[in-house]
Homo-oligomer: A and B are copies of this chain.
Amino acid sequence: MKVYVTGPRADIRVPFREVTLSGDAPAIRLYDTSGPGSDGPAVGLPPMRSAWAAERVAGGTQLRFARAGVATPEMEFVALREGVPVSTVVDELAAGRAVLPANVNHPESEPMIIGRRFLVKVNANIGAASPTSTPEEEVTKLRWATRWGADTVMDLSTGDRIHEVREAILRNSPVPIGTVPIYQALERVDGDPTRLSWELFRDTVIEQAEQGVDYMTVHAGLLLRHIPLAVGRVAGIVSLGGSMMAAWCLAHHQENFLYTRFEELCKIFARYDITVSLGNGLRPGSIADANDPAQLAELRTLGELAWVARRRDVQTMIEGPGHVPMHKIKENVDLQQEWCREAPFYTLGPLTTDIAPGYDHITSAIGAAMVAMYGTAMLCYVTPKEHLGVPNREDVKAGVIAYKIAAHAADLAKGHPGARAWDDALSKARFEFRWEDQFDLAIDPDTARSFHDEAVPAAPARIAHFCSMCGPKFCSAKIGHELQRYAAERGVSIDAAVATGMSEKSAEFVASGGAVYLPVTTKSA
């Protein structure tokens, strides 16, 4: 059930998914990305933040306000949403350790924050890939992604209807929308990257800025001198934006115009409060290429650019790999944090092995959980179709859920306040055979319920005091209950239970149910 918590002013209403539980168990509130309306036609969401943007008549980005010590309504909103003091939000934004992507022209979005001190976020990529994709189809994908927990969505559309599709997405999106403007710029030069230019790119950025895009990936750190470093790689340049800029640099033998014009770009971004996401054009595309000189040279340049952007009041995050074996993941985060002055890291995976096309949501969920534990603030999802095809609806769900799992596992590992309450509520429901509560608390209630019903089809079984794995005769969880009851009834403290002579009571234990509900079958020892 969606509930709203009102902030210090009445128009700050923060959404949560409240899961009510049976019996005495207290309800639990979970972070909710699904937005105010996700069923009807794509007629647009209410422009909740319009008034807030209008109040900022003096202009300025969230970073600028934070530096001035001003808590904007957006900051108040995310503080409530994350369950942290607003001062933490202001401090982290002011230091550049977090970003709050919120274009003034996207008033439909519900504010969220990306930074290592906050809940780890997940991005899902969508976008019209064929000439026949319609805006309605993309809005359906958007709603599907945010239903399962996508915190931001990148629209990677191409094709003739690119402007129209983006407009439909923005007007219906409760989450920040990111783009890679070079894709649209390339459309305008008929796919020939050597014909790209600063003017063309700038105009594309302004068009998208006016529509309300909240963050943009810009491959400004890939320099001419970095390109030869990638020649000997196993997998070459796998970033599409990176390969375009490499082609342009080589064809013109000029420095990347995104780098040389970066200050001008920042002026545009500041005007709309667009967050810049500095693209990882030389990210490794294979285990062999991880943390190689090409990747690290570009990362150093991204650090310089982050500094430039910050001076211009532009919120900045840094994109990262890619394919990285587990033992090289921490180095990646550590260097990024050091070289980029703690700007939020936003990684694709990383995939921890190359051998499993068809399962790269799993190869990369492993890397994503680890990279997030080490400090990455947002994870770009990878679907099972990675390397093989365009993800369909089920792939999008599989990717989002694998990444929400990775993000939450990292929140637990980092000790984010409140993260463990969800696990504890679910485990308590499981231990107490509150099956419906367990399903309702699951990250995907539909799947949990259907898997259980396959095993135990009859409705009464859902409230039965036994596990669907072990059958009605015995269940290991029952012994735990017997133990607890045994201790409670006799006032036996944990430490004293043996010392106070449990032998005298062993007969009682047998009488009180010690012989019941033990397992005859199971799937694990």
Contacts and interface: CB of A to CB of B under 8 A. Distances in A.
Contact of A442 (B358, B408, B524): B358
A64 B498 CA distance: 39
A262 interface: no
Contacts of A504: 253
A356 B523 contact: no
B236 A412 contact: no
Interface in A359-418: 359, 361-363, 365-366, 369-370, 373, 380, 382-391, 401-402, 405-406, 408-410, 412-415
Interface string A227-259: 111111111111111111011001111000000
B477 A520 contact: no
Contacts of A455: 385, 388-390
A225 B191 contact: no
A451 B357 CA distance: 9
Contacts of A524: 125, 156, 240, 348, 380, 382
B366 A405 contact: yes
Nearest to A281: B525
Nearest to A383: B523
12 contacts: A156-B523, A158-B520, A191-B473, A228-B498, A236-B483, A244-B518, A287-B412, A288-B424, A323-B427, A356-B444, A359-B401, A366-B405
A15 interface: no
Nearest to A479: B243
B234 A424 contact: yes
Interface stretch (A35-43, A46-54, A509-517): A509-517
A426 interface: yes
Interface string A408-449: 111011110000101110111011000000110111100110
A88 interface: no
Nearest to A392: B454
A252 B288 contact: no
A79 interface: no
A480 B514 contact: no
A227 B187 CA distance: 68
B521 A127 contact: yes
Contacts of A452: 388-389
Contacts of A510: 194, 251
A325 B355 contact: no
A224 interface: yes
B366 A227 contact: no
Contact of A424 (B286, B412, B431): B286
Contact of A326 (B388, B390, B409): B409
A232 B480 CA distance: 9
B234 A448 contact: no
Interface stretch (A110-118, A301-309, A487-495): A487-495
Given A286-B427, A451-B358, A353 B405 contact: yes
A323 B127 CA distance: 37
A159 B519 CA distance: 12
A442 B355 contact: yes
In the complex this chain forms, how many copies of it are found? 2
Contacts of A238: 476-477, 480
Given A355-B422, A510-B194, A469 B387 contact: yes
A154 interface: yes
B405 A241 contact: no
Given A431-B235, A520-B186, A228 B497 contact: yes
A430 B387 contact: yes
A129 interface: yes
Contacts of A287: 412, 420, 423-424, 427
A520 B187 contact: yes
Interface in A159-178: 159
Contact of A456 (B242, B389, B415, B502): B389
Contact of A483 (B246, B401, B424): B246
Contacts of A246: 479, 483
The 9 tightest CB contacts between A and B, nearest first, are A236-B480, A389-B455, A228-B497, A253-B503, A286-B427, A358-B447, A326-B413, A243-B479, A253-B506
Contacts of A471: 129
A159 B521 contact: yes
A480 B237 contact: yes
B356 A442 contact: yes
Given A251-B510, A253-B506, A279-B525, A389 B228 contact: no
A154 B408 CA distance: 31
A289 to B, nearest CB: 8
A484 interface: yes
A44 B235 CA distance: 45
Contact of A192 (B386, B430, B515): B515
Contacts of A405: 352-353, 355-356, 359, 362-363, 366
